[in-house]
């Protein structure tokens, strides 16, 4: 369990850093990652899927964990930056016209409005993490 706590702690650090400076995440991120059967990892990004069975690929010491955290953004700009400048849709977003970006911003802020806290937001987040040794 010490390994799981180390992973959890690391994710909390990264979530905090990205909350403070969303640009740190530029060019990183995945839309969705799931761990099934305790050993198989599927990562979905847009139209592609990477599926890997850690044990069949020769990995051992496999551990999975679910990390729940609150993603804090001080204002609209930080929330938008985390989602679009360095978030899971960053590549597509940077191809949008300014008019489309404006509409996407409005839609996104509406979607996270239930998590508004003063001028900022406290959005619940959940990350599935798998670690293994090869």
| pLDDT tens track for 7-63 | 666 656 666 655 566 555 554 444 465 666 656 767 666 666 666 677 777 888 877
| pLDDT tens track for 60-107 | 887 777 788 999 999 999 999 998 988 777 888 888 889 999 999 999
Is residue 123 predicted with pLDDT exceeding 70? yes
Residue among 68, 70, 76 nearest 118 (CA): 76
Confidence at residue 30, expressed as pLDDT on a 0 to 100 scale = 41
Asked whether the beta carbons of 121 and 73 are under 8 A apart, the reply is yes
Confidence of residue 109 (pLDDT cuts 50, 70, 90): very high
Tokens of 3: 């390994």
Judged by average pLDDT, the poorest of 54-58, 79-83, 115-119, 122-126 is: 54-58
Tokens of 8: 């959890």
Mean pLDDT of 118-131: 86
CA distance 18 to 30: 15
Count other C-beta atoms under 10 Å from residue 3's C-beta.
Answer: 11
Count other C-beta atoms under 10 Å from residue 21's C-beta.
Answer: 13
CA distance 77 to 33: 26
Confidence at residue 89, expressed as pLDDT on a 0 to 100 scale = 79
pTM above 0.75, yes or no: no
Confidence at residue 19, expressed as pLDDT on a 0 to 100 scale = 58
């Amino acid at each position: 369990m010490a390994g799981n706590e180390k992973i959890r702690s690391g994710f909390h650090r990264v979530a905090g850093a990205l909350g403070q400076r969303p640009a740190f995440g530029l060019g990183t991120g995945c839309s969705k990652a799931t761990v099934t059967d305790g050993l198989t990892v599927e990562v979905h990004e847009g139209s592609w899927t990477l599926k890997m069975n850690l044990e069949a690929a020769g990995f051992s010491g496999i551990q999975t964990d679910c990390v729940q955290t609150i993603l804090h953004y001080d204002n609209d700009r930080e929330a938008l930056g985390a989602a679009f400048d360095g978030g899971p849709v960053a590549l597509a977003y940077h191809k949008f016209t300014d008019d489309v970006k404006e509409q996407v911003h409005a839609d996104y802020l509406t979607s996270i409005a239930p998590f508004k806290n003063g001028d900022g937001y406290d959005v619940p987040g959940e990350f599935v993490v798998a670690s293994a040794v090869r």
